Amino acid sequence: KKNKKGKNTRTSIMVASLNMRGHGTLGPDDTNNKWMLINQLMRTNRIGILAIQEAHLTEEFAEQINDLFERRLSVIWSQGDNSRAKGIAFVINREIMSADHNIKVDDIVPGRVAMLSIQWHNNLKLKILNVYAPNGATENGAFWSEIQNTLEEKDLPKPDMMLGDHNTVEDSIDRLPNRSDSATTVDPLRELQTKLGLIDGWRTTNPTDKAFTWTNGRSHSRIDRIYVSRTIHNTAVDWDITEAPGLETDHKIVSVRITNPQMPHIGTGRWTIPELLLKSKKLSKSVIALGKKMIQEIGSIQTRTDEKNPQIIFEKFKAEVIAKARTTAKIEIPKLKKRTDDMKKDLKATLNARNTPEAKTIADAGVLQKQITALENLRHASIRMATKARDAMEGETISKYWSSVN
């Protein structure tokens, strides 16, 4: 049964955006089942709200999605009059956010712009504007003006966030090869930003870095962006641009973790041993040996001193265990993840290298991007296979796993 009181949403949530290039299918074994992949993506990355563009949804298809993922996802959509083009949606992760109470959606431009107002933490409301801008310069420029006019006409509040596929960039650094977009599109967008009091969060956090969200192999651009109010930006972390593994799209995911600005500052916390090391026999033997050594040292104490006492010896033991765990983690981290992380570092270095001809940068970045995408798809497929295997084994057995999925 659904919790009638709603979920007690966390103080910090991950918000993301993705152009999915069509709704795909819902066949359980279909390689183009994009919604199964989105479900896994949101569960794995703990995404609370995902804004989608190019959803191409119909009422029937949206109902099927909500029925299939009833316990995990809630899809709120706006399509317009053509289900083969445009279309936006908000996907709410029910495991993180309350999707049944205190939600309001205003259609600003059907199939192009909608604003979600959702209760976040305690009595705090979060207002998110999901946008999918047209390609043409004239249409794109008029689009931003239309948003501003409609918000004023409907007397709607200013959003805390505006995210989506903008199909234009504000600065030449966000295109490769470098070029500036027409003032026809940029000026109305900046006017809307100023009016709403929003800033480009990723660019403000990374003022000189180059990273892109869309590519066709020959050119790259950061057309998918997240704009936030300065209040939200002050406590936002983890601004990121990542792959959408398994999904047939030429866009990447843009994401950010936002924190209730009314909450006190919380630091990074203590380092913890990664879960994958808890089953490491090598580390277990080392910890047992260090523990025996600690017990012997404590037992050999004849006279307690400031330099030699159980507390000091125990502190030394903990430091040695952490050091050993860190060393082991570097060795036993899955090779696939390490290769992917190394390639991402290489891609970042390639895109931000100085004095390198653009043609070489584009060629090298294209090769690295293809390799990263292939590795991410492989890792994602491995996770799906493990999930499928567990479901086959425990899906029909009364257990904790069965309860969580039913």
Residues comprising the binding site for Mg(2+)?
A: 19, 54, 165, 167, 250-251
* Catalytic annotation present for 165: yes
Q: Is 251 a catalytic residue?
A: yes
Please give the Cα distance from 363 to 187 (Å, whole number).
32
In whole angstroms, give the CA distance from residue 104 to residue 270.
39
Q: Of 220, 226, 222, 151, whose CA–CA distance to 192 is shortest? A: 151
Residue indicated by tokens 């390490």: 338
CB contact set of 10 (below 8 Å; sequence gap of 6+): 48, 96, 121
List Cβ neighbours of 284 (8 Å cut-off, separation of 6 or more). Answer: none
Confirm if 239 and 202 have CB atoms less than 8 A apart: yes
- Over 66-85, what HEC string results? HHHCCCCEEEEEECCCCCCC
- Catalytic-role residue among 160, 165, 174, 224: 165
Tokens representing residue 1 in the block: 């049964």
The residue to which tokens 């960039």 are assigned: 169
Binding residue numbers: 19, 54, 165, 167, 250-251
- The amino acid occupying position 339 is R
Which of 56, 132, 224, 380 is the catalytic position? 132
- Tell me which of 56, 220, 251, 380 is the catalytic residue: 251
Q: What values do phi and psi take at 6, rounded to 5?
A: 85, 165
Which residues have CB under 8 Å from 142's CB, separation 6+? 188
Do the Cβ atoms of 39 and 108 come closer than 8 Å? Answer: no
Pairing of strands 47-53, 12-19: parallel
Q: For 167, left (φ over 0), alpha (ψ -120 to 50), or beta?
A: left
Please give the full DSSP string across 55-123, using - where no structure is assigned: ----HHHHHHHHHHTTTTEEEEEE--S-TTS--EEEEEETTTS--SSSEEEEEEETTTEEEEEEE-STT
Burial of 377 (0-12, 13-18, 19+ CB in 10 A): middle
Q: How far apart are CA 395 and CA 398, in angstroms?
A: 8
Residues forming the active site: 132, 165, 251
